[in-house]
């Protein structure tokens, strides 16, 4: 019975398919995200519905300090959500944008150096790590990653800059701000 529980509860890398699988609560999802962030040497692109994990935000700051380019697209509600780490990240010089669509930007993925993909239902929150039933996949299949790269570029190009980050907001054309009624500095 103990052997069965051990095999059932452990995260299992599926090496043949290039996939690692994790579950929460307390199944190592947050640790896996942080481990992937620490591996980054060039870039991290994140599309995340909800990001309030202090530990993940701190890992992102360390990556940026190591000259890793980090781009983040969040759901527009994250700009004003008190628990969101978006303000913390903007204060640390991050380039954050917010989804402009009518529905939620409910994606939950990150691309690390173009060679590793983190995805699944796992929001980057303490609640997701400790209480929710969530899943997380780390995928290294190049074809799958390419599709997520394309989606990230679409999200990035159709999202608006954080209104607290004037450096980024200055790069947005005035017509775009007026058309979408954004709080740009132009």
Residue at token pair 């204060």: 91
181 catalytic? Reply is no
Phi/psi at 167 (5° precision): -60, -45
- Active-site pick, 31, 39, 92, 106: 106
Q: Respond yes or no: is residue 38 known to be catalytic.
A: no
Residue 31 annotated in active site? no
* Residue pair 24/132 in contact by the 8 Å Cβ criterion: yes
Query: Cβ-count burial of 8 within 10 angstroms (0-12 exposed, 13-18 middle, 19+ buried)?
Result: exposed
Q: Which of 138, 118, 114 is nearest to 14 (CA)?
A: 138
Q: Give the closest residue to 136 by CA, choosing from 10, 32, 59.
A: 32
Q: Which residues contact 144 (CB under 8 A, 6 or more apart)?
A: 117
Contact by Cβ (8 Å): 129, 24: yes
How many residues are present in the chain? 186
Catalytic entry in 75, 113, 149, 162: 113
Catalytic residue among 45, 64, 108, 162: 108
For 135, the token pair is 């899943």
Q: Which residues are catalytic?
A: 106, 108, 113
């Amino acid at each position: 019975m103990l052997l069965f529980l051990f095999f059932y509860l452990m995260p299992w890398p599926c090496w043949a398919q290039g996939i690692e699988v994790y579950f929460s609560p307390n199944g190592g999802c947050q640790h896996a995200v942080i481990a992937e962030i620490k591996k980054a040497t060039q870039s991290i692109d994140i599309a995340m519905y909800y990001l309030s994990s202090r530990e993940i935000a701190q890992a992102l700051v360390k990556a940026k300090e190591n000259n890793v380019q980090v781009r983040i697209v969040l759901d527009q509600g994250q700009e004003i959500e008190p628990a969101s780490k978006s303000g913390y990240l903007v204060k640390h010089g991050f380039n954050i944008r917010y989804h402009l669509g009518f529905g939620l930007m409910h994606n939950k993925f990150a691309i690390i150096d173009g060679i590793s993909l983190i995805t699944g239902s796992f929001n980057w929150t303490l609640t997701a790590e400790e209480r929710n039933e969530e899943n997380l996949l780390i995928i290294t299949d190049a074809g799958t990653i390419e599709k997520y790269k394309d989606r990230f570029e679409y999200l990035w190009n159709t999202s608006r800059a954080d209104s607290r980050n004037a450096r980024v907001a200055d790069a947005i054309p005035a017509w775009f701000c007026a058309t979408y009624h954004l709080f740009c500095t132009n």
